[in-house]
Chain A
Amino acid sequence: MLLQFQKGDIVRHLGLLDLQRTMQRALRRSNLPVAYSKGFNPHMVMSFASALSSGIAGDAELLDVSLCGETTEEECLAAMNRVLPPALQASRVRLVDDRFPKVSASLRTARYRITLRGGETKRIVDDVPAFLAQEEIMALRKTKKNETMVNIRPMIHELTAQAGEQEDTAVLTARVSFVEQATLKPDLLMDALCTHAQAGLPRCEIRRTQLLGDVGGQPVALIDM
């Protein structure tokens, strides 16, 4: 079962483990025929398409759960929404064959909406075309093991900016690479953009709006892959 759900604003600080535990308990309450692993300490066979960092909200996150009995997509969606708290409601369910490759393997890009508030927001918005015009954008990527300078330009597939309704606010929409070795985190993108615009980092509210795969060079919602 692929479950598409939102991680609402008020619960955006949930970390992966808390979210995982919450989903497990919801699945237990749902009475859906969830499959358990074999072995001494059986656990539910489930995984998220992509872990969403604490502090970031999501519109269409994906949870992949193995089922072991007959059910329908409508039944699953209704059962899950009955047991999920308001801030974690599901929007879609797709039942796929177990033999399908794991959904996370098809993930290529992710779309983010970044709301900027205050500071030098306007300067940042104005700088977007010049920022994208660069052939190479070097940024310092930190991992647990090391820090390396990488060219992030090829990882930016789309980036648009729109001034917000209030002064000093703006909304950036970005589609960035999300594959091993070439994942661009939205905060790194913001750092690079602000550095180029020679502006301080304003208050950012980051929301992941879509997880996408790729069919013939075109982005396709991951749940439809």
Chain B
Amino acid sequence: MLKEKIDGLLDRVQKPARYMGGEMNAVLKDPNSVAIRYAFAFPDVYEVGMSHLGSRILYDIINKREDALCERVFTPWVDMADLMREENVPLFSLETRSPIRSFDMLGITLQYEMSYTNILEILDLSGIPLHSEDRTWDDPIVIAGGPCAFNPEPLHRFIDAFSIGDGEISTLETIDVVKACKAEGVSRQECLRRLSRLRGVYVPSLYEASYNEDGTLKAFEPTEEGVPRTVVKNMIADLDKAEYPESVIVPFMEIVHDRINIEVLRGCTRGCRFCQAGMIYRPVRERSMERILDLAKKLVDETGYEEITLSSLSTGDYTCLPQLAHELMERFAEKRVALSLPSLRLDSNLKQTLEETQKVRKSSLTYAMEAGTQRLRDVINKGITEENLISSVSDAFAGGWSSVKLYFMFGLPTETFEDLDGIADLANKVVRKYFETPKHIRAKGLRVNCSASCFVPKPFTPFQWEPQDTIEQFEEKQKHLCHIMHIKGVEFNWHEPQVSFLEAVFARGDRRTADALEAAWRLGCRFDGWTDQFKFDKWMEAFEQTGVNPEFYANRRREKDELLPWAFIDAGVTQQYLWREHERALQAQTTPDCRKGCQGCGLKRFEGACEGR
């Protein structure tokens, strides 16, 4: 009956393939053959969620268990969601079109703050009570993980348990606990209690927060014995021993990253001070070349994809990248499989790798410069110089590339208008370099795509104490940038400061911001990451309604001794290390890559943590 009803809806929506399922390599299991049915949600549309590597790893890991199955769900786009409400159709899984509420567990991945309203949308469409405290065993245990789980507080009321850190092992442990609890018939409360004893698992209902008069956090404590005061993140020591999918779903519709994706390393030791991923995914761990080549072969055979990408935070840092690229090109040339390398760093030994990959296809090259002047790049510890950029684009133009992307941020700590002028200066120099390349060598049609995003201070970075620029400050800087970026051959893009402002609120929000989040969703906010859906006025109305002052979270400087809402999490890097880096930043002192000498970030406290590379 539900299946037929869903079928009827598909005739009436924009992109039915989002809800269709039935793709090649989707895993179909008999629900009666397993003890735990796990629904895995990515809180955005299908084509975005299906591009996410972590979700695919966990889908594979859960389905490898004989006693569990995993099915997918995404946030239905607004047309589908409205129809579902009209026709009383509950949110369903793609594989078997079963109601999400009927699953034993619902895992939600937290990749960006602006997907938070979509989580409420998923819960509501599923008929699962929004608040953890209102749920019973008729509802799944709702678990969330991913980078945003490192400050879980804005979602504390809606999520039963957070899994912090690498998910490969933790996900299986949580399944074991829920399975045992269901078999024993213990209460839901007891199940949550047992989950809280797992490493890396945070059960918000077992903690209490109190506040000072000035609004800052006064204390944060567990409410019962046996619940850990500090939640230590999970870490996989050896990537080769970690499970990795050898077969992935091949979607019918085009998705954002429509190719084979192999994670070659996890973590980054560069120590860019704005970068949360670089801090929370430490230590650096590499997958061996043998394993990568083996995975590549299996995945090419299993998917028929025509492109492989080697992904990580900084693929250029992979020890044997040139050799790996060469091997991959050679082995798959006959099958016409192209290789693409994202996140390359200028200072990596690139030339040979680039020459290898260009044999098949030429894509555009991306340079994340982040700031316009050397002084500001020193502040953020982005170890690239102008010379690196110019010599690299010079090689690229001579090698036949003509399309270059430059990424910048503005609103960085200590930034002045001189730093903004530096952005235009760099863009100009890149253009000049192109025209200096002899005509018979360079490719036609120079395209320099320059984009500037508003800086958002994140937890567990040296800038976690820093205020974000106000929207007015951002707008003033933006105006200046638009003016100076009128350069022939350069296309300039920028991000809306309103979205970044909200990101800053929820990135460093405490428990009280949950009220504003819920109010905003009730006022109709969803898909806030989509420009055509974003309703800033509704968000401001929500803050007003709930008495939450967003500037308190986004634009306030924190003192060294302030108790931060996420301080109960041990993310590997210590608060002492972060503060030290914060001070060095303000003095524009750089810190070298820790592969060249330990900087004492705190990871050494964990046995074997810094040996897996």
Contacts and interface: CB of A to CB of B under 8 A. Distances in A.
Contact of B304 (A9, A18, A28): A28
A3 interface: no
Interface string A51-62: 000110000000
A19 B254 CA distance: 11
B301 interface: yes
Contact of A29 (B16, B17, B302): B302
Interface in A1-44: 8-11, 13-14, 18-19, 21-22, 24-29, 36, 42
A27 B23 CA distance: 15
Interface string B303-335: 111100000000000000000000000000001
B10 A13 contact: yes
B50 to A, nearest CB: 13
Nearest to B337: A28
B304 A29 contact: yes
A84 B16 CA distance: 20
Interface residues of B, number: 24
Contact of A85 (B10, B24, B254): B24
Contact of A26 (B8, B26, B254, B304): B304
Contacts of A10: 20-22
B303 A11 contact: no
A202 to B, nearest CB: 13
Contacts of B24: 22, 25-26, 83-85
A105 interface: no
A87 B17 CA distance: 13
Contact of A11 (B252, B305, B335): B252
B250 interface: yes
Contact of B22 (A26, A42, A85): A85
Leading 5 A-B pairs by shortest Cβ distance: A25-B304, A28-B304, A13-B16, A29-B304, A85-B24
B80 to A, nearest CB: 12
Nearest to A13: B16
Given A26-B24, A28-B304, A29-B303, 5 more contacts: A13-B20, A25-B304, A55-B11, A83-B304, A203-B8
B303 A25 contact: yes
Contacts, number: 58
Given A25-B304, A28-B306, A29-B304, A85 B16 contact: no
A9 B4 CA distance: 11
What is the size category of the interface that chain A forms with chain B?
20 to 34
Interface string B29-69: 00000000000000000000000000000000000000000
B21 A18 contact: no
Interface in B229-257: 250, 252-254
A29 B23 contact: no
Contacts of B306: 25, 28
Nearest to A54: B16
Given A11-B20, A28-B306, A22 B11 contact: no
A86 interface: yes
A117 to B, nearest CB: 10
B46 to A, nearest CB: 13
B480 interface: no
A86 B16 CA distance: 18
B486 interface: no
B22 A29 contact: no
Interface string B516-542: 000000000000000000000000000
Nearest to A30: B304
A29 B254 CA distance: 18
B355 to A, nearest CB: 19
A19 B17 CA distance: 11
A14 B254 CA distance: 11
Interface string B290-308: 0000000000011111100
A184 to B, nearest CB: 21
B304 A14 contact: no
A85 B26 contact: yes
Interface string A76-104: 00000001111100000000000000000
Q: Which one of B8, B20, B26, B305 has the highest number of Cβ atoms from chain A below 10 Å of its Cβ?
A: B20
A195 B306 CA distance: 49
Nearest to B13: A13
A29 B301 contact: yes
Nearest to A8: B22
Contacts of A29: 301-304
A28 B252 contact: no
6 contacts: A14-B17, A22-B24, A24-B304, A84-B24, A85-B23, A87-B22
